[in-house]
Structure 1
Amino acid sequence: MKSKLIVSAVQQPCNEDRQTNLEFSIEKIHEAAAAGADLAVLPELHLGPYFCQNEDHNTFSLAQPIPGPTTEVLSAVAKKLEIVIVSTIFEERAPGLYHNTAVVFDKDGSIAGKYRKMHIPDDPGFYEKYYFTPGDIGFKPIQTSIGKLGVLICWDQWFPEAARLMALAGAELLIYPTAIGWDPLDTPEEHKRQLDAWITVQRAHAVANGIPVISCNRIGFEKAPDSDKGINFWGNSFIAGPQGEIITHASESEIKLLTADLDSSRVERVRRIWPYLRDRRIDDYGDLTKRFID
């Protein structure tokens, strides 16, 4: 990783049309570049409202190829501003085959790589299995001019196996574009428990792997189609260091550009005093490949 790195995450609402949301994201990327950032991370599926609250085959018309119209725009922005960008796009790979895909643009405007979401939820309000085929690229960091980025997406962030495999493959940052929120019908106590769990599990990935984490969420209430129900996206984007310490954090509702300075030499020091990779008992972990141990 570049020895001194300035990273940013854009916490924004995504409840307008595609062009409006994209222009808003680009405006914030410009702000990040003006602040000297090497990297700008956008929320999951930032081009529009979270469409997985119901199942509607007409929604597949929102998908686009990679490369495609949005990647062309963001490639030009990355090149102009000389900044690495992480965006997630509803990818049409082929007719009838769709993915939730993160695209990484390098500073020269090229597509450095992509990651297709591996863990696909299917819960009330989050009917992603209807829309997304699980990824087939695997947990492979994306090499960029600023280092190897371990990009994962939303539901992936709850799985320690995903974070570990990225770290074992050389990821120097863990990056989680996210769209997660509360059911407004749940109690305030349940809201707090869910949010605390979400922050804690990602900080734990930083600790267990000795590398920083960037978690970037959207904000605002988004009504479900043909219903009075919806999701209140809880924001709380944050950047954490290699010991899980919170460097910068946003509230549940503010539009905010989070920016943090990262030092790769500190990652090295942390891994020397907490040598998890050295002490892993890989000879006894075979059962991790089983669904359940009876």
Structure 2
Amino acid sequence: MSRKKYTIAVLQLNLNDKPQNNLEKCKQWVRDAAAKKAEVILLPELYSSHYFCQSEEVANFEFAEPRDGVSFQEFSALAKELGVVIIVPFFEKRMPGIYHNSAFTIDTDGSEAGLYRKMHIPDDPHFYEKFYFTPGDIGFKAFETTKGKLGTLICWDQWYPEAARLTALQGAEVLFYPTAIGWHPQEKNEYGENQKGAWMNAMKGHAVSNGVYVAAANRIGLEKYIEGTEGIQFWGSSFIAGPQGEILAQASEDQEEILMAEVDLDLQENVRQNWPFFRDRRIDAYGEITKRALD
């Protein structure tokens, strides 16, 4: 007899509109997922706006909100009404001059189960996040909820096995990755297949090496709002993987979708018993991992 199972959902959406419209849209999609019996629901990264990090503009700080702002208030009420857990990524204004790319996890009673602040901040062409976001300073987190123990990481964190491992070691049953990742249109034909493949392989690897479920929620659509640029074509392909890296659900590259899968903790435990990677870790030999380089 199964000890515990619960259903998770990933929302893949086009978020190329005004904050109020995105808020109302996402609330409706959460309702739709809950109606399909989802118990934990994940939104994409920076859900309330277009991906403004394509440029460095002070005016974009207007998209930021405090930790207890409208996003928390609205989704807190919705989580309590529906009896679901909601993971909400948002642009956090901590204080004047300090902003974070954050996500709060809201429990079924509307309370905040925990806050995560993105630890790894990229600075690539048209992904100019260092202009906006202070790196997270509260570490990697796994949060107890009434549905399960959940870990949240954000987009660029997905390339770092250390982040996945430290979150899993805290007991996270699922690693949730709200994401905004896509192609530069002029590069897609030459590099696109390998770029997207690397993205999926990296996170499937986190699932395997930690024996956890992994869920990624990406955007779709071409977001082109800067004159003289081709914008970013978000590649969708959101997915949920099981603890052996098996794909349980995957979205298209260009359609809005709800992905759902069941988290089976008995299966997870069985996988870890047969592939005991945590048991065989040589924690006595890893001290140098905290160094920048070993030259």
Report the TM-score range of the alignment, normalised by the length of the smaller protein: over 0.9
Q: Is the 8 A contact 1:101 1:116 kept in 2?
A: yes
The residue aligned with 2:8 is: 7
Aligned-pair CA distance for 1:226:
3.0
Q: Is the 8 A contact 1:16 1:48 kept in 2?
A: yes
Verify: 1:22 aligned to 2:23, yes or no: yes
Matched residues in 1 for 2:221 and 2:181: separation?
11
Matched residues in 1 for 2:3 and 2:271: separation?
17
The residue aligned with 1:212 is: 213
Matched residues in 1 for 2:42 and 2:205: separation?
20
Matched residues in 2 for 1:235 and 1:71: separation?
25
Deviation per CA, 1:86-129: give whole Å up to 9, x if none. 01110000011100010111000111111000000001000000
Aligned-pair CA distance for 1:261:
1.3
The residue aligned with 2:134 is: 133
- In structure 2, runs of 5+ residues without a counterpart are none
Distance 1:58 1:107, change over 3 A: same
1:169-184 pair list within 5 angstroms:
169-184=170-185
Bigger drift between 227-236 and 273-282 goes to 227-236
Q: So what's the TM-score if we normalise by structure 2? A: 0.98
Aligned-pair CA distance for 1:201:
0.4
The residue type paired with residue 216 of structure 1 is A
Percent pairwise identity: 53
Tell me the SS of whatever aligns to 2:22: helix
The residue aligned with 1:156 is: 157
The residue aligned with 1:121 is: 122
The residue type paired with residue 182 of structure 2 is G
Bigger drift between 31-40 and 263-272 goes to 31-40
Matched residues in 2 for 1:41 and 1:2: separation?
24
The residue type paired with residue 27 of structure 1 is Q
Matched residues in 2 for 1:4 and 1:228: separation?
46
The residue aligned with 1:241 is: 242
Q: Is the 8 A contact 2:49 2:63 kept in 1?
A: no
The residue aligned with 1:86 is: 87
Matched residues in 2 for 1:58 and 1:224: separation?
14
Matched residues in 1 for 2:195 and 2:110: separation?
38
The residue aligned with 1:278 is: 279
Q: So what's the TM-score if we normalise by structure 1? A: 0.98
Distance 1:187 1:238, change over 3 A: closer
The residue type paired with residue 175 of structure 2 is L
RMSD between aligned residues: 1.2
- In structure 1, runs of 5+ residues without a counterpart are none
Aligned-pair CA distance for 1:35:
1.1
Aligned-pair CA distance for 1:2:
7.6
Matched residues in 1 for 2:153 and 2:170: separation?
13
Q: Is the 8 A contact 1:2 1:147 kept in 2?
A: no
Deviation per CA, 1:193-230: give whole Å up to 9, x if none. 00000000000000000010001100000014233321
Q: Is the 8 A contact 1:204 1:244 kept in 2?
A: yes
The residue type paired with residue 144 of structure 1 is T
The residue aligned with 1:293 is: 294
Deviation per CA, 1:154-201: give whole Å up to 9, x if none. 000010000000011111110000000000011424100000000000
Verify: 1:65 aligned to 2:66, yes or no: yes
Q: Is the 8 A contact 1:103 1:115 kept in 2?
A: yes
Q: Is the 8 A contact 2:121 2:135 kept in 1?
A: yes
Matched residues in 1 for 2:119 and 2:225: separation?
25
Matched residues in 1 for 2:25 and 2:58: separation?
28
Q: How many positions carry a matched residue from both structures?
A: 294
